[in-house]
Amino acid sequence: MNRWFIVLLVSITGILFFGVTTTATAQADANAVVRGGRLYDNWYRELHLQPPRSPHPLLAKRPDAASDIAEPWRCTSCHGWDYRGINGMPGIERYQGADPEVVVTILTSAGHAYGDILRPEELLALGHFVSAGQVDMAALIQSGTADTAPGVASHEDRFATICAGCHGHSGKRVREVPPLGEVARDRPREALHMILNGHPGGNMPPLRVLGTTNAAGMLAYLRQLPAQNLAASIVRGGRLYDNWQQELQALPPPVPHPAYPTDAGYAEDAPRTWRCKECHGWDYRGRDGSYGSGPHATGITGIQVYAGSRPEVIIELLRNPTHRYGAVLKYGDLVDLARFISMGQLDMDTMIERETRRVQGDAARATDYFGTICATCHGRDGRGIMNTVPLGRLAKESPWEALHKIRNGHPNEPMPALQVLDDQLLVDILAYLQTLPEGR
């Protein structure tokens, strides 16, 4: 073979190899940046680890330290979604363009204490994000209105083709996250960070390669999407409270709920023990209400003390080691259930005599309402649906259950939820049900 040809071939091969290596390195850096962005958001969710159970060393002695021990361990809790710092803590913008190894040194210092938690490649990914992944949020989002900056065009087509397959065209399909419209309006910088880097621990594709202008345009479109209707969320939470397994068509846990007493009446019925109503009752009073005695008695308190509480507080209770619903319900389900507990309860003791189960309502006033709204499915005598007990029997034996279902509907059924109507009218409908026949 000609010597000059061999030299030329070797030179071309070297150039091609160098080009492939450079491209692979650039790709690896891009992957490291977006992964670092997800770690910056929530590293323990991204890595599927248990949240830390000891206070972060920088915040442990602060009087205003968060009650949630894990939250301060998230980079965003100190440095913010715009990377400029919050609550008196410094930002990370001064490390933009720094050597990622310098950032790693800071992360492994005694102040941050991530050296014993994150592996070297994860620390380096965070270093790449801090060095090359920050964007100027102030140039893309107006600080006064939290709207996107003037001149940012709304990118509906990009959302409809790239994102809507999972999130739906309304942005509300994925139950693991809040409706995208709500996030984009309430927390635009967080939303933009996730558009660029993806969601921790999820399958959302990071869109940083499209550029910050396109990401901001998608954020502008997200801000136009609808929020979750509050009334719909509350009544859906009521159906989850009734029977979330039926509402979600989900397989029940194979073992009894760990908080259900082993000596209570239904301890051997694992699916039933996971229903909220089975511990806290149809009247929401638990041991102080209609489930204070009889086969459903558990000695567990009710949920009425949480009426009016912030849904975020209730979600944390639902996820805690006592309730463990974070393992079986998605984020959107937890939100709906929390909203029901906060805003959907009713003081049934003012409407139903506990001893006699007699309803304090005007049955005659509800005749036309039952005849038009309910009788289409249930029949004029309340016995039209053969796979349910007659409404007359349900209303007399368990009026609290009947009232709960009148207000919230029946899990995974088209029964209308009437909670938006006047409470007394619904009690009148319940009173009318008690006039219907009990037998088949």
Domain ranges of the chain: 3-132, 137-222, 229-345, 346-440
Q: What are phi and psi of 198, to 5 degrees?
A: 90, 180
Regarding the domain with residue range 137-222, which homologous superfamily does it belong to in the CATH classification?
Cytochrome c-like domain (1.10.760.10)
Q: Is 15's pLDDT higher than 70?
A: no
**Span 256-279, average pLDDT:** 97
Residue scoring higher pLDDT (274 or 24):
274
pLDDT score, position 52: 87
Q: Is 61's pLDDT higher than 80?
A: no
Fold: same for 137-222 and 346-440:
yes
Mean pLDDT, the chain, integer: 89
Listed in sequence order, the DSSP H helices in 188-310 are 188-197, 212-222, 230-248, 270-273, 276-280
pLDDT score, position 282: 98
Helix (H, G, I), strand (E, B) or coil at 148: strand
Are the beta carbons of 408 and 235 closer than 8 angstroms? yes
Report residue 58's pLDDT band, with 50, 70 and 90 as the boundaries: confident
Where does 346-440 sit in CATH, by number? Answer: 1.10.760.10
Q: Is 7's pLDDT higher than 60?
A: no
- Nearest by Cα to 420 from 290, 240, 230, 165: 230
pLDDT score, position 118: 96
Are the beta carbons of 115 and 124 closer than 8 angstroms? no
pLDDT score, position 386: 85
pLDDT score, position 6: 36
pLDDT score, position 27: 52
Residue burial 27-50, b: 16+ Cβ < 10 Å; e: rest = eeebebbbbbbbbbbbbbbbeeee
pLDDT score, position 303: 98
Using alpha carbons, list the distances in angstroms from residue 305 to 45, 257, 273, 289, 341.
31, 22, 21, 13, 9
Q: Is 324's pLDDT higher than 80?
A: yes
pLDDT score, position 17: 32
Q: Is 307's pLDDT higher than 50?
A: yes
Helix (H, G, I), strand (E, B) or coil at 378: helix
Least confident of 25-39, 195-209, 301-315, 393-407: 25-39
Report residue 340's pLDDT band, with 50, 70 and 90 as the boundaries: very high
Q: Is 10's pLDDT higher than 70?
A: no
| Rama region for 234: left / alpha / beta (φ>0; ψ in -120 to 50; rest) | alpha
Residue scoring higher pLDDT (11 or 213):
213
| pLDDT above 70: percentage of residues in the chain | 92
**Span 316-337, average pLDDT:** 94
